[in-house]
Amino acid sequence: MLSFLLSRLVQTLLLLVVMSAIVFAGVYLIGDPMATFISPDMTAEIIEKTRRELGLDQPLHLQYLRFAGSALSGDLGTSFIHNEPAVHVILQRLPATLELACVAMLIALGLGLPAGLYAGIEPKSLGSRAIMGFSVLGFSLPGFWVALMLIMVFAVTLGWLPTTGRGAVVQVLGLPFSVFTLDGWRHLLLPAINLALFPLALIIRLTRAGVVENRRLDYVRFARAKGIAPSRILLLHVLKNIAVPLVTVTGLSFGSLLAFAVVTETVFAWPGMGKLLVDAINILDRPVVVAYILVTVLIFAVINLIVDIAYAALDPRVRLGERAQ
C-alpha cells in the first residue's frame, strides 16, 4: 500500500511538470496577453515597462524557468485580471464548483442507478425504452442548448426559478455554500440538472448493460435456483459485480464535472472555476490558465487514487501494490 501511494505521488509530480510545460508553451503560442488589452492611450514606454514587469519580454524558456522557480515555492503567479495569486483566485471559486458538481453527481447517481437497474431487468418494457431514449438525448443534446432551454422554461416562462447566479450562501467552516439555504437551492437546481445530464445518461447505460450481461451468468442462475429473492440477487450480487466499472465512470465524470463545468457555469453565470477558466482564456490570463490546469491535474490524480482504493475494497482480487508495478 505504501509503495503504491509513493509511486502514485511520483507519477503525479511528473505529470504536473509535463503539463505545466505543455500548457505554458500552449498559452504562449496563442498570443501576447498585452495585445488583447490594446488601448488607444498606451504609450510605447508604458507598454515596454509593463512587459518587463510581467516578464513578457523574455524568451519562452526563461519565462518558464522563472515560473517553475516560483512554482516550487508555491507561487503560481499573479492573475492578470484579479491581481491576486492565481491559486488563491482558483481556490476561492472551488466551493461553488464543488457544490454544483456534488449535487449534479448525486442527481446522476440517484436517478441513473434505479433507472439503469430497471432498464436492465425489463429491457423490453415501454418504460425501459423511454429511459434508453432519454439517455440518448442526454448524450446528444448540446449542454449549452439544454441550459438555455431550462432557463427559458423554468425561469423566464414559468418564473419558478431564478435565471442565473448563486443566491444566498451560508458560511460553513469558513467557506460559502448555498446548499444550506432555500434560495441557494433555487439557484442551484437548474445548473445542477444541466450538469447532471451527461453523467446521468452514462450511468443509465452502463448500469443497464451490466445488469443485462450479469443476469445471464451462472452465479445469478444459481442464486435464483437456490431460491434467493430477485431483489436480493439484484441489489446485493449483481450490483456488486457491476460496481467496478460504475465507480470508474463515476470518478472520471466527477473529475470532469469539477474541472470542466465550463459551459454550464458560463450560461448560468455560476461563480465557479469553469467560468473563471473561460474568462481567463478569453483575455489570456496566463497565470490563471496554467494554475487551473495544474489544479485540475491534482484533482484527477486524487480522484483516480480514490477510485483505485475503492476497487480494492469492492473486488477482493485487486491488490493495490501489484497494480502499481
Residue numbers of the site for other proteins (CB under 8 A)?
30-47, 50, 53-54, 78, 80-84, 89, 92-93, 144-145, 148, 151-152, 155-157, 159, 162-166, 266-269, 271-272, 275-276, 278-279, 281-284
Q: Are 47 and 34 in contact (CB under 8 A)?
A: yes
Q: Nearest Cα to 198, choosing from 278, 262, 269?
A: 262
The smaller minimum CB distance to other proteins, of residues 51 and 215, is found at 51
Question: What is the enclosing helix (H) or strand (E) of 175?
Answer: strand 175-177
The smaller minimum CB distance to other proteins, of residues 86 and 299, is found at 86
**What is the distance between the alpha carbons of residues 107 and 199, in angstroms, rounded to a whole number?**
9
The smaller minimum CB distance to other proteins, of residues 270 and 311, is found at 270
The smaller minimum CB distance to other proteins, of residues 186 and 215, is found at 186
Least Å distance between CB 164 and other proteins?
Answer: 5
Amino acid at position 68, single letter: A
What cell does 50 get?
509593463
**What is the distance between the alpha carbons of residues 139 and 191, in angstroms, rounded to a whole number?**
17
The smaller minimum CB distance to other proteins, of residues 8 and 51, is found at 51
Q: Is the dihedral of CA 258, 90, 28, 60 positive or negative?
A: negative
Enter the DSSP assignment of 154: I
**What is the distance between the alpha carbons of residues 5 and 312, in angstroms, rounded to a whole number?**
14
Q: Are 284 and 18 in contact (CB under 8 A)?
A: no
Least Å distance between CB 268 and other proteins?
Answer: 7
Least Å distance between CB 95 and other proteins?
Answer: 12
Least Å distance between CB 121 and other proteins?
Answer: 39
The smaller minimum CB distance to other proteins, of residues 123 and 167, is found at 167
Q: Are 40 and 47 in contact (CB under 8 A)?
A: no
Least Å distance between CB 16 and other proteins?
Answer: 24
Least Å distance between CB 59 and other proteins?
Answer: 16
Least Å distance between CB 179 and other proteins?
Answer: 16
Enter the DSSP assignment of 42: -
Query: Which 3 state secondary structure label does DSSP give 166?
Result: coil
Least Å distance between CB 49 and other proteins?
Answer: 8
Question: Distance from first CA to last CA of the chain, Å, rounded?
Answer: 12
Q: Is the dihedral of CA 131, 135, 137, 143 positive or negative?
A: positive
Q: Are 285 and 80 in contact (CB under 8 A)?
A: yes
The smaller minimum CB distance to other proteins, of residues 5 and 148, is found at 148
The smaller minimum CB distance to other proteins, of residues 140 and 157, is found at 157
Query: What does R_g of the chain's alpha carbons equal in angstroms?
Result: 24
